[in-house]
Amino acid sequence: MDALQRYLDQEEWQTQAITRADQAEARYASHEAVDAWLASWVPAPREFVFSDLPYVIP
Q: What is the pLDDT of residues 7-52, one digit of tens each?
A: 988 999 998 988 888 888 888 889 999 988 888 887 666 665 566 6
Banded model confidence at residue 4, pLDDT cuts 50, 70, 90: very high
Q: Specify the number of domains making up the chain.
A: 1
Banded model confidence at residue 1, pLDDT cuts 50, 70, 90: confident
Q: What is the value of pTM for the model shown?
A: 0.40
Distance CA(32)–CA(30), nearest Å, equals 5
Give the residue numbers spanning the domain of 37.
2-57
Residues sharing a CB contact under 8 Å with residue 42, sequence separation 6 or more, in sequence order: 58
Strand-pair partners of 46 = 57
Contact 55, 49 (CB under 8 A): yes
